[in-house]
Structures are given as structure tokens and as C-alpha cells.
Structure 1
Amino acid sequence: MQRMKEPGADVDEKLARLVAELRRRGYRVTAQRLAIARIVFQTIKQHPSFMQIVEAVRKSMPSISPSTIYNNLQLLEQLGFIKSFDVAGETRYDEAKPHVNIVCIDRGEIVDLEDEQATRFIEEIAKKYGMKVREVVVEAFCSEDSSEGASGPG
């Protein structure tokens, strides 16, 4: 029987991996860096924007600068913990593992599609074209009333 993980266990595991990786690569492990990473790891399933992350971090560290947060997000991406992608001109953050994101154009929502079919699709693309798939984004109209004209011209 598999044990249920405590809420936050994944976040703690990611933080432990991050600390090890920072030390291995010679980066300092600071309270600010860990606070930013904790917020990102806690909210990553919601695909937070930069400003959402800034607001969340500033609840516990009001004087932290946006540039410090930005630089740490860049580092988290460089280390392979997260990835950034663009939705309607806004940078959003997501888990680094390959998966399919469905972007609801009309609602501004982002949904992770993590099932066997999506995984096979990503693996087939990688194998067929000899690529390492970073992300697959599907843009869709998600409201019933948005379907009119959704197919576009031609």
C-alpha cells in the first residue's frame, strides 16, 4: 500500500533538491531565494505570472525588489526547476517537465493535460523528429459562446 504524501511534501522535496543543486553549483542559499522558490513551487500548478509571484513573495518579504525575484526566477529556470512561457503577452511559469498546456484564449485560463495520451504524443514527437520536447501549447476557445468564428478564415 502506497503512503499518502503530506500536503507540502512535494514542495519540501523540491526545496531540498534546489538547495543541493545551488550548493553543488556554488550559488548561495539565501532566505530570499528560498522564499521565492517556495512560493513558486506552491503555486506552479496555477501557472502564476511574474506579478502574482511578486505579490505573493512580498506578503512575507515586503521590501524585496522585483529584480531580485526576476533574477531568482531566471535561476530556477536555468537550473531546470521551472520554465516560462508566454500567454497573451504575459510571462507565466510552469513545471519544467514536458506536458501539454491548454490555454483558454477567451478565459485566460491554463489547464495542464497530463494523461497517458498526452505523454505518448510528446514521446512520439521527440522520437519521430529527434527532438527534446520542452512544451506543447494548445490554444482553445473554452466557453460555449466563444465557438462562433473560432475556426478562423478558410
Structure 2
Amino acid sequence: METDTIELLRKSGLKVTPQRIAVLRLLSKGGHYNGEQIYEELKKTEPSISLSTVYNTLEALEKAGIINSFEAGGITWYEMRRVPHINIFCVDTNEILDAEANVETIYKQLEEKGIKVKSLSIVAYSECANLKERSEGS
């Protein structure tokens, strides 16, 4: 994993730093994290890391196209999953689930209008009861 992370940073033109490696290691576990959660998790192993360093690192990784961010519930969330999908946000608990999505139609319609999509973020808002019923019925 560490070798893959270093190679990913180099290919993206980013300097390899312990902070970038630590953030990518955490995000590569999967799931969705906000900046505060990332900071709190990294402080356990990197006690000298600052919140501003975490946000600067997230910004650099996103600009390089390594991670995604999206807004849901007034919070910016970060994830490493690059495949277009729908983030389903539970308004009761701030839990986020991923759902596969065929977004080719959206890309095609935008291209026809001369719009080149750099990234696409789709967030659906749901109540937790709806999420539980859906996951139990699957």
C-alpha cells in the first residue's frame, strides 16, 4: 500500500510527504470522512499534525484528482472513490452510503452542450429508516 501511495503521489506531480501518505492511507480504507474526522484520526499516530495541514493536504490531493469531495448536510466530505456514483446521505445521522449509478447519459447531455465535466458529484438525501429498509431488502 505504501509503495502504491508513493507512486500515486509522484504520478500526480505531488511531493511525497508523510502527511499526504497518512491522509491517503486513511481514505483508502473506504468510506467518507470530513476534515475534522480525518484530523482526529491522524492525531492518534501523528500527534504533531495540525488541522490546517490536514485541510491543505486534502486540497492538494483533490486538485491533483486523487480524491473527491462533496457537500452534504452542510459538511464537506472526502472520499477516495473516483468512479462516478451516488452518495446517499442520511439526514438523521449523517451516515453516507454509496450507490452505483450509470451517469453516461448525464455526461453525454453535457458534452452535447459543449460542457466538459471535470468531476461529477451526486448526493441524494434520505431518512435513515428508508436506508435500512433498502439495505435489508437487498
Work out whether the TM-score is over 0.5. Answer: yes
The two structures have a TM-score, normalised by structure 2, of 0.78
Partners of 1:40 and 1:74 in 2: how far apart?
14
Residues 43-84 of structure 1: CA distance to partner in whole angstroms, max 9, x if unpaired?
Answer: xx3211111100111111101111111101101101111111
Partners of 1:20 and 1:32 in 2: how far apart?
14
Q: Does 2:27 correspond to 1:40?
A: yes
Greater gyration radius: 1
CA contact (8 A) 1:76 1:82 kept: yes
Partner of 1:150: none
Q: Does 2:12 correspond to 1:18?
A: no
Specify whether residues 16 and 30 from structure 1 end up closer, same or farther in structure 2 by C-alpha distance, changes over 3 A only. closer
Partners of 1:17 and 1:123 in 2: how far apart?
30
The root-mean-square deviation of aligned C-alpha atoms, in Å, is 2.0
Partners of 2:47 and 2:2 in 1: how far apart?
23
Give the 3-state SS of the residue equivalent to 2:41 in structure 1.
helix
Partner of 2:136: none
Residues 69-107 of structure 1: CA distance to partner in whole angstroms, max 9, x if unpaired?
Answer: 110110110111111111211111122331111112123
CA contact (8 A) 2:10 2:16 kept: no
Residue of 60, 81, 90 corresponding to 2:66: 81
CA contact (8 A) 1:49 1:92 kept: yes
Residue of 118, 123, 128 corresponding to 2:109: 128
Q: Does 2:56 correspond to 1:71?
A: yes
**% identical equivalent positions:** 37
Partner of 1:148: none
Q: Unaligned regions of 5+ residues in structure 2, if any? A: 131-138
Shift of 1:12: 4.8
Q: Unaligned regions of 5+ residues in structure 1, if any? A: 1-10, 145-154
CA contact (8 A) 2:90 2:127 kept: yes
Q: Which amino acid aligns with 2:98?
A: D
Task: Number of aligned residue pairs: give it.
Answer: 124
Give the 3-state SS of the residue equivalent to 2:33 in structure 1.
coil
Partners of 1:47 and 1:84 in 2: how far apart?
9
CA contact (8 A) 1:97 1:134 kept: no
Please identify, of 90-99 and 65-74, the stretch whose mean Cα deviation from structure 2 is larger: 90-99
The higher relative CO (CA closer than 8 Å, separation ≥ 6) is in: 2
Partners of 2:19 and 2:109 in 1: how far apart?
43
Q: Which amino acid aligns with 2:96?
A: I
The two structures have a TM-score, normalised by structure 1, of 0.70
